[in-house]
Structure 1
């Protein structure tokens, strides 16, 4: 059940994806991008393992110094004879007076005192040599660390590039229906924000986890070489540690999933409102929009706070376990020294190894939150990359039949946006559009006019019935050929950031300047383009904000005419034009489209009169069909 701070405007409930609870699928997904860089990643892990193992090396150097240079040993405190014993400290020797120390039972028998035994010759020089060796080791290990960091950054950069390329390619291959279900802002959140977050976590988490596991393995081997009981104690301590991590991970993953969902909703909200900023100003809704964004921001903040609280609790309890275990192993080692089963150097070595060994364990605890977040991000990206393509190109696709000989045909075509018959946009539509003829589609709003054009352009696939071009099923035509020979001009002109020339040549980048200006003249936009500061090279704002609605529409028409299509699909494109401009465009189209096929959605009687056939749609069905004269009779 969603929490109360999730039930707010512009934040729909989180939908569970089919990879939720399927870590194997997520691992395969991540492996697909890591596999090309497996050797660099492995090298990075090994170099970092070498660098962070310096703690083990320092512990071993300490053992050598204590046991072989300082030569600290244990000796029985009570004398073995009445003649006394000698204590050697440094190189000086002092005779000690015999004493008659009384026995005190078992306590006296187990007591020990440390004495410095004679050091080997040249102990000072050997100690300095150890110091030099240790400094050189640290220098080499730091070089290894720098190389490992460089490798990790390069791998992360390449994975990010490939992942974004794949996401962009997949988004462009998805149908119009998918984009209607998923607002652009939320897709941007996944392509930009989620991928950028993954870039910082993927290689970092994998490399950190890899070298920390290697450090744990090395530490356990070293403990086994010292005393198997110490290694057994460490392994036993790991059991509650693993249970602790799993306990918190089960709570952190859902919270982080909600966090990323709220982040996507914020992207979607901002994209929508920035696009409609003029309406916000016009109706004075600035305060309301600030309140909505504050609610979204607070919802995300509460989830982030909950996630951090779980992470802090995991680190706290993990620290308590590791500190207790380290202290316990220190006490056990000290007892072994008292019982003469370990030297002082070996005990210090074991203690240092234990302290170093728990560092990667704590590190694994800390990156467990990152790994949980990584799985959530991967699942969100998999939702896009593994999304089934609804409108697919047939493997045996054939070219567009050019020139057309028969025309376009629709037989009992049905289509519903929601997939249910009750809300069908088209209900058994059958039409034949002969080659070289113009069909005008008229009808009230919501009757299915634009849907019919989108089906002809194959932005959707009909759920029933058939659409054919010269007898060939529309689904059998290749996408490139279909888009080249059939141009759709939507009702809302799509203008891209760039120059006017870039927008006109979007469908034919290789067009010559003469062809560009000819298309512009046909669309009645050449004159106003020549009045711009640098004419065809003038930059237009995002979505053509520096142009009027009519100017945007005429550029959109020029773009379609430049491709010289066999079939022209116009979706009420003259609605934003004045009567005189519309008349000139109609006359130009009559010349340019001579012998070509056109399907035109329009509410203008003047346009309907120029078409050979008029089709009236209402409620997704054809109610009237014929010429203008026949329908007026």
Structure 2
């Protein structure tokens, strides 16, 4: 009904529901966000250990290569020509081939294991985030754009996959090469190594400080991409409206501006990354060239051998390469840290609707439906704290009773349904189902006992059979068809190209409004709940379909409690009781005849509608 949609719109517009909204990032200047990934990494300790062994073997093989070259130079080329020199060269090259073989095997094993870890951990994170999001209350979705959530589940997890599947391994590998190479540099020449180490410290400090700016820009870039994604999702889901109002150019321009903003933010990040990389390479290799220049003079002076200098050059290259790779990995890690923060924000969002610590069970189902009662209920939407949707409302609905709720838009009718389903909790008062406070029930227990046909019918991208089976996942094909017949949907489904196996299109675009409504009714009937909620269930039907569905609904109401919301009073005249709401209160109660005789709000509504119908005919 309108009051619900109004409140929902207000909630999404104001966005002041702090308890449900994804909190803002604290944008820390470190990589501490990765600590939140430990629960996802912990189950795969054995795989990480195997990757670590392969990593150490690969690093050790790499570090052995310069020593082999030293032996080749000093024992092969440095010795007098002859059989001994040839044997030394042959042995050195044979050893090099053996080292290369170990390096190849270890590198392949490391690549396979860490790639598997990246895919596995990313899949776990995506599942965990999605599972957490779908359990959030409607309040969460009033204040969080769906496109932003999708961006975090897809784009952000891809960045984390790169870190887990590549960057962590590369970082550890290059850290081992850096440390191992540094040790071997000191073994080769303490003097030259001390000089190079001191200069590298002066170089690394500004690199780390500048890297913090890159990380902040990375987070900003991801935010802009999420904004563009959210805008695109919203517009694509409303294309008929956009085209009906000829807003194609306006929306294209608006999206283009958003994409351009994301591009400009990304270019800031790219420029900063480029400057960081350039600075790191120039300074690191400049330091190494300077030290090697000193080493060349030492060889000429006879204080170093040619093999020592060759070994020093190779180890220096390994150290320099590892530093360059670490700076590159650091840039990727900083970008992924922002993505990790965004995902952890989603995982830390707490639903305002909490499961009870010790849930109760519903009593055995009665043959004639469920009893429903409201006691002194007051409810205010979080987005409109000064405007109560319901005020001190009390109501008793007996098992098997059919109760219709009517009233002007904004009276609080659909709010009742949202409270029955516990999408929200009232600020005061209580709601009971078969005598049990619904806050003491598990959400699945409560909602399994309720079937609803909403005003805005949702059709999934699946065939007709699966769309109806959504009401009860384990239902057989025969049960689905029986529910469709009861909802007067069987005939039009049979006329579809593949019958019940016909794909209905995204959001049911291949169906008329009335057909979508009957699919939703069949879905609710298949569920077979003791409590049935009908929110304008026949609003989108033509006269013939309404007659068919009304007859089906009357049969479906037998043996269950039914609450009907309707603007069209012709659909509620045969209700056991009609409640008239205004400003969140029940102002009139009775049958159609008694309320017309009362001459109040209902009588005025009836006079307007039936007079209009009379004039039209």
TM-score range, shorter-chain basis? 0.7 to 0.9
Q: Which has the larger radius of gyration?
A: 1
Does the 8 Å contact 2:69/2:310 carry over to 1?
yes
Matched, 1:369 2:331: yes
SS at match of 2:470: helix
Give 3-state SS (helix, strand or coil) of 2:547's partner.
helix
Q: Which residue of 1 aligns with 2:192?
A: 230
Partners in 1 of 2:374 and 2:204 — Cα distance? 63
Equivalent residue runs for 1:49-448 within 5 Å: 49-51=56-58, 56-71=63-78, 118=80, 121-338=83-300, 340-404=302-366, 407-418=371-382, 420-448=384-412
Alignment of 1:562 onto 2:526? yes
Q: Determine if the alignment matches structure 1 residue 480 to structure 2 residue 468.
A: no
Indicate which of 571, 588, 592 corresponds to 2:556.
Answer: 592
The aligned residue for residue 519 of structure 1 is: 483
The corresponding residue for 1:623 is 587
Question: How far apart are 1:546 and its partner, in Å?
Answer: 0.6
For 1:492 and 1:430, the matched residues in 2 are separated by: 27
Q: 1:423/1:383 Cα in 2 relative to 1: closer, same or farther (>3 Å)? A: farther
Shift of 1:382: 0.9
| Change in CA separation of 1:473 and 1:19 when aligned onto 2, cut-off 3 Å | farther
1:392–1:222 distance in 2 versus 1, CA, 3 Å = same
Contact 1:569–1:598, Cα closer than 8 Å, also in 2? yes
Alignment partners' CA distance in 2, 1:509 and 1:123 = 79
Judging changes above 3 Å, is the alpha-carbon distance between structure 1 residues 514 and 137 closer, same or farther for their aligned structure 2 residues?
closer
More strand by share: 1
The CA deviation string for residues 139-180 of structure 1, in whole angstroms up to 9 with x for no partner, is 331222222211121111111221121122112211122122
TM-score normalised to structure 2 length: 0.88
Q: Deviations over 1:22-77 (max 9, x none)?
A: 85762322122222223323433443454355553332122212222222xxxxxx
Contact map agreement 1:391 1:459 (CA 8 A) in 2: yes
Quote how far apart the aligned CAs of 1:357 are.
0.9
Contact 1:410–1:467, Cα closer than 8 Å, also in 2: yes
The reply to whether residue 529 of structure 1 matches residue 490 of structure 2 is no
| 1:17 and 1:379 in contact (8 A); partners too | no
- Measure the CA separation in 2 of the matches of 1:595 and 1:15: 43
Shift of residue 619, structure 1, vs aligned partner: 2.9
Q: Provide the secondary structure at the position in 2 that maps to 1:491.
A: coil
Q: Is the 8 A contact 2:156 2:339 kept in 1?
A: yes
Deviates more, 1:469-478 or 1:394-403: 394-403
Instruction: Say whether the 8 Å CA contact 2:74–2:307 is kept in structure 1.
Output: yes
- Residue number in structure 1 paired with 2:512: 548
Whole-angstrom CA distance in 2 between matches of 1:252 and 1:279 = 41
Q: Distance in 2 between matches of 1:322 and 1:175?
A: 53
> Is the contact between residue 65 and residue 99 of structure 2 (CA under 8 Å) also seen in structure 1?
no
Alpha-carbon shift at residue 261 of structure 1 (Å): 1.4
Q: In the aligned structure 2, how far is the partner of 1:218 from the partner of 1:429?
A: 75
- The equivalent of 2:10 in structure 1 is none
Q: CA deviation at 1:232?
A: 2.7
344-353 or 42-51, which moves further after superposition? 42-51
Rate the CA distance shift 1:528–1:119 in 2: closer, same or farther, 3 A: same
TM-fit CA distance, 1:329: 1.9
Higher relative contact order (CA 8 A, sep 6+): 2
Please state how far the C-alpha of 1:314 moved relative to its aligned partner.
Answer: 0.7
Residue in structure 1 matched with residue 24 of structure 2 by the alignment: 17
Alpha-carbon separation, structure 2, partners of 1:302 and 1:337: 52
Question: After alignment, is 332-341 or 137-146 more displaced?
Answer: 332-341
Check conservation: 1:244, 1:314, Cα contact below 8 A.
Answer: no
Report the equivalent of 1:28: 35
The answer on whether the counterparts of 2:59 and 2:176 sit within 8 Å (CA) in structure 1 is no
The Cα of 1:359 is off from its aligned counterpart by 0.8
**Alignment counterpart, residue 614 of structure 1, candidates 557, 570, 578:** 578
**What is the deviation of 1:570?**
1.0
User: What are structure 2's unaligned runs of at least 5 residues?
Assistant: 1-12, 599-617
Q: Tell me how many residue pairs correspond in the alignment.
A: 578
Cα distance in structure 2, aligned partners of 1:432 and 1:294:
54
> What is the DSSP-based 3-state SS (H/G/I as helix, E as strand, rest coil) of the residue aligned with 2:528?
coil
Contact persistence 1:442–1:614 (CA under 8 A): yes
Q: Is the CA contact 1:46–1:211 (under 8 Å) kept in the aligned structure 2?
A: no
Deviations 1:230-282 (A, max 9, x none): 33333323333332233222212222112111211222222222222222322
Q: Is the 8 A contact 1:45 1:208 kept in 2?
A: no
Q: CA deviation at 1:551?
A: 0.4
TM-aligned CA distance change 1:32 to 1:242, over 3 Å: farther
Post-superposition shift, 1:533?
2.2
1:37 maps to 2:1: no
C-alpha distance in structure 2 between counterparts of 1:299 and 1:370, whole Å: 21
Contact 1:525 1:554 in 2 (8 A): yes
The CA deviation at 1:420 is 4.9
> Please, what TM-score do these two structures have when normalized by structure 1?
0.86
Deviations 1:412-448 (A, max 9, x none): 3233333553133333322222222122122222332
Give distance in 1, aligned partners of 2:27 and 2:582: 43
Q: Residue in 1 aligned with 2:615? A: none
Superposed displacement of residue 483, structure 1: 2.3
User: 1:609 aligns to what SS in structure 2?
Assistant: coil
